[in-house]
Every structure is written in C-alpha cells, then in structure tokens.
C-alpha cells in the first residue's frame, strides 16, 4: 500500500509538471462499467469465440450474421453502460488543463459521456455505420436500438446492403487520420498516461514506445503486466477506478 501511495504521488507530479500530457486507454478502463474485456485471462471475449469467425472483415463480408449474432448482447451492454470513476478522472484532468488529448482503443463512447472533449478513437466507434455495398453512412443509434430489439441485421436505407458499424475489425486498418494524429501526439507529448491497456494490439500498442523514444515519461496503470513496464517511469498495479481518482486528487493539491 505504501508503495502504491508513493507511485500515485510520482504519477501526479509528472502530470502536474508536464507541458503536454496525453492518455491512452484500453478495454480495462471500461470493465468496471460492465463491458467485458476482449483478452482478459479466463473471462475475455476471445476465450469464448474465434475472433476471426465473428469479428474479422473477411467473415463480416461473407457471413455478417455471425458478427451480428455475436455482438447483439454486447451492443445491449454498451448501450446500458455508464461511465465510471476512471472515465470521470480523465475528463477532469482534461478540464483542468493537464491532459491535452485522450487516445482510446475503446468503441463504447464512455469517455465522451464522462466529459472528455478531445478523444481519438483509434479503433473507430459505434455512432455511425456504413453500407458495405454503396458506402452510404448513417447515424447508427436507431439501427442499433432496432437490432437489439428484434435481432434483424441492419440494412442500408438506400440500397438494402448490410450496414457495418464504423469499428475496426480484424484485417482492417485503423482510421488513418485518427491513427496519424495519435502518432503525432505521442511524438510531441512529454508524459503519457496508459490506463487499462495490455498494449498487445498493434499499431496502438507501439504508441508508448514511440513516446518514450522521443523522451516522454510513461505512466502505466493496469492490473496486469505490459511490454512497456520496464521502460515506464511509474507502474501501478491497481484498479483504474481507484488509482486514477487518487492521481487526480494529488494533482489538485
């Protein structure tokens, strides 16, 4: 406990004294909001299904029903989920001027709902969907609500093609402009706070290493080890919903 208290103080001092601090978040920041992790040991979604069968672009184009049957209960969970203390802590850091941008691997929109303003969603989001036939884009919410209710695959209002949520599936490239901006932010930051990410998914997992090569100090808050731990200035093995509010309180002192 004493060790964690000291590390929280160290993390807060780094953030407080930074000229350009940024954050990177992963699935671990939303698990306390009821959204399951994809890679968690034993409980991760990919321990139950083959991601290539349900969440790759190739399987979606051939059998979109596999994706929609799999994501239906997850969609309902995300719609009902509420931001937690970790989301609010990061939003407060931004509101107080300490955090310049938040990069997230999550598609659940919880950072924005907590009040974060500048959010780079490197794996896309569920707010819009695109027709795989004519590429017409629609606001996804009414389609998602109807899909949760009746289970019928959403189709394009113009041509009848299948609608795909604007999220990055396996085999797809992350949104190029968003990823480029995330890389630019990683290069110019002097502190990067990584929260709730195992840093196993590329190319996003490379961002802390890019920041470190450019001289930034990296803070890791995660329940399990990450490839960045040995190079990080602070490594906190604590629940993000506990650690991040503590860091914010120290920053405010």
Catalytic residues, which ones?
123
Dig out the tokens for 35 from the structure: 């959204």
């Amino acid at each position: 406990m004493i060790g964690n208290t000291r590390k929280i103080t160290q993390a807060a001092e780094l953030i407080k004294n930074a000229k350009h601090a940024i954050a990177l978040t992963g699935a671990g920041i939303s698990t306390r909001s009821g959204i399951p992790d994809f890679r968690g040991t034993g409980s991760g979604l990919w321990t139950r299904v083959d991601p290539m069968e349900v969440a790759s672009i190739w399987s979606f184009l051939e059998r979109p029903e596999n994706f929609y049957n799999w994501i239906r209960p997850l969609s309902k969970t995300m719609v009902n989920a509420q931001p937690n203390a970790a989301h609010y802590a990061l939003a407060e850091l931004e509101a107080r001027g300490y955090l310049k941008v938040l990069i997230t691997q999550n598609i659940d929109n919880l950072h924005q709902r907590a009040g974060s303003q500048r959010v780079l969603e490197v794996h896309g989001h569920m707010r819009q969907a695109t027709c795989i036939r004519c590429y017409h884009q629609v606001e996804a919410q009414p389609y998602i609500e109807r899909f949760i209710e009746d289970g019928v695959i959403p189709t394009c209002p113009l041509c009848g093609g299948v609608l795909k949520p604007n999220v990055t599936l396996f085999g797809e490239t992350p949104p190029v402009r968003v990823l480029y901006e995330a890389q630019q932010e990683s290069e110019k930051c002097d502190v990067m706070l990584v929260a709730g990410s195992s840093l196993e998914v590329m190319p996003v997992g490379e961002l802390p290493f890019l920041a470190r090569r450019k001289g930034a100090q990296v803070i890791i808050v995660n329940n399990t080890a990450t490839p960045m731990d040995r190079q990080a200035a602070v490594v906190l093995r604590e629940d993000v919903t506990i650690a991040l509010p503590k860091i914010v309180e120290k920053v405010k002192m």
